[in-house]
Amino acid sequence: MRAFRVLLFSLLFYLCICCAAQTSPQTPAAQQFSAWLEVFNRGDRDALLAFLQKNLPDRAQNIDREMNFRRTTGGFDLKKIEDTSTPTKLVALVQDRDSDQFGRVTLEVAEAEPHVITSFGIRAIPRPAEFPIPHLTQADLITALKTKLQRESASGAFSGDVLLASHGKPVFSEAYGLADRESKTVNTLSTRFRIGSMNKMFTAVATLQLAQQGKLSLDDPLGKFLPDYPNKDVAAKVTIQHLLTHTGGTGDFFGPEFDAHRLELRTLQDYVKLYGARPLRFEPGTKWEYSNYGFLLLGLVIEKASGQSYYDYVRDHIYKPAGMTSTASDPEDTNVPNRSTGYTAMGAAPGTTRPNTDTLPYRGTSAGGGYSTVEDLLHFAEALQQNKLLNAHYTELLTTGKPGTPDNTYAFGFEDRKVNGIRCFGHGGGAPGMNGMLQICPGPGYVIAVLANLDPPTATRVSDFVLNRLPEQ
């Protein structure tokens, strides 16, 4: 059966190429695209380098990045050549071989022979409606998911834990790969993975709890809680709601300055000392820009409004009520049982990974960097849906996308979107050697939690695979 499917897939792919050739028969642009696609898909570093040196010398200078891109995508399958193509320009839709992600390739060549490539670009796009993914039954989805994870874990493309729950009960939960390669410790469902920006969900819940209690208002300016904030313009103009929706213009803190002071940044206040004098990047409320620093500031607001440290507050008011016994943000120099080691391709030899130890902050913050398990994430999702953390009004406020965010899909520390017709909300996290995703789909009653100790988009792609195929009811 598998051989038949492979043969059928090869035939369909061949037919797709033939159809594309009929749309733009033997044009210079089509020939250059076909040559690039063949060598890219082959995955041979020397062959790809030779092609790029001849045709795209700027990309040849970053051959390691090209090869990482090839490993991430698994190569591309051609789906369609668009009508805007001409003899010297080709626009093609392709899909990653290792995921459901679509991309649009735009390639232009010179009119004169040898028709050198003058412009080349690939960008990710939403899946076109003409290429729908059918919803599966729960049983078929689990079978497909097992096959995918077994294949990807065997190749080293996935290492982590995956949990799928229906109406609060796990229907699939498995661990793959190694938590620590040096000690050969395997991942289990008790393994704690660093979760990056997924902390933002907990920070947002904490902020809304304090709003529900009347201890803060979403319209309050930052300066109400941080009267000594170094930049008075920021303190006066940026509101709690701006921070929750990434519309405050407060910027990020990752970059060269963070790298230089990484281990010195031990408390939330340390970040303010380093970044607090910066000006606004834009007038609050006028645009959307993801801001880790904005959620860092929310941690300080929580401390001022509650009288507790951020870490104690989320422990007492989120983790404990939800039954999350393996989630926290203890410092990296603390011995945390079952905490996995992350492995990143960044700075490693081509085709290999290395521990991410020298990239980690001293401690996770209200913006991200804590750790959790897939089972704890399910407990969190259930507590949220059962209004154990917030009442129904504030839970809806927390998870409903807001105007002024991309396609109105960002809520308060949660993304709110429709995937293949099903509404889901949640948040991911990613950094070198770590990737996670939680998706809560109340309509059909599913929760998806994926945590990985590899670079993004390792966990995101597994989550998307499930989301795109969920049973509708």
Could you count the other beta carbons within 10 Å of the beta carbon of residue 53?
13
Q: How many domains does the chain have?
A: 2
Same domain, 170 and 112: no
- Average pLDDT on 278-302 reads 98
- 461 and 335, same structural domain? yes
Residues 198 and 91 in one domain: no
Residues 253 and 114 in one domain: no
Pick the more confident residue, 42 or 21. Answer: 42
Is residue 431 situated within a structural domain? Answer: yes
Mean of pLDDT values over 430-437 = 98
How far is 424 from 399, CA to CA, in rounded Å? 9
Domain residue limits at 454: 165-467
Residue 352 phi, psi (nearest 5): -125, 175
C-alpha distances (whole Å) from 72 to each of 38, 65, 109, 428 are 17, 10, 27, 18
Q: Which of 201, 246, 280 is nearest to 405 (CA)?
A: 246
Residue 159 lies inside a defined structural domain of this protein: no
**145 located within any domain:** no
Asked, for residue 202, whether it belongs to a domain, the answer is yes
Task: Write out pLDDT tens, residues 48-74.
Answer: 999 999 999 989 999 988 998 998 899
Say how many Å lie between the first and final Cα of the chain, rounded. 29
Give 3's pLDDT tier (boundaries 50, 70, 90): very low
Instruction: Please report whether residue 195 resides in a domain.
Output: yes
32 with 169, same domain: the answer is no
Grouping H, G, I as helix, E, B as strand and the rest as coil, residue 457 is coil
Domain boundary among 72, 95, 125: 125
Would residue 214 count as lying in a domain? yes
Residues 114 and 177 reside in one and the same domain: no
pLDDT at 24: 42
Residue 131 domain flag: no
One domain, residues 174 and 118 = no
Residues 183, 95 within the same domain = no
- Domain match, 170 and 61 both: no
Q: What is the CATH number of the domain that holds 369?
A: 3.40.710.10
Would you say residue 94 lies in a domain?
yes
Q: Are residues 28 and 105 in the same domain?
A: yes
Domain final residue, candidates 68, 93, 125: 125
Domain of 70: which CATH number?
Answer: 3.10.450.280
Joined tokens for residue 279: 């000006």
For residues 344 and 263, state if they share a domain: yes
**pLDDT tens, position by position, 29-44:** 999 999 999 999 999 9
Q: Is pLDDT at 347 greater than 50 in this prediction?
A: yes
The sign of the torsion formed by the CA atoms of 121, 125, 129, 134 equals positive
Q: What's the whole-number mean pLDDT along residues 403-422?
A: 96
Instruction: Note the pLDDT tens digit of each residue in 127-181.
Output: 999 999 999 999 999 999 999 999 999 999 999 999 999 999 999 999 999 999 9
Q: What mean pLDDT comes out for the span 409-422?
A: 96
Are 117 and 207 contained in the same domain? Answer: no
Count of positions (residues) in the chain: 473
How many other CB atoms are there within 10 angstroms of residue 66's CB atom? Answer: 19
Supply the pLDDT for residue 11: 33
Contact 291, 246 (CB under 8 A): yes
Which residue type, as a one-letter code, is found at position 457? P
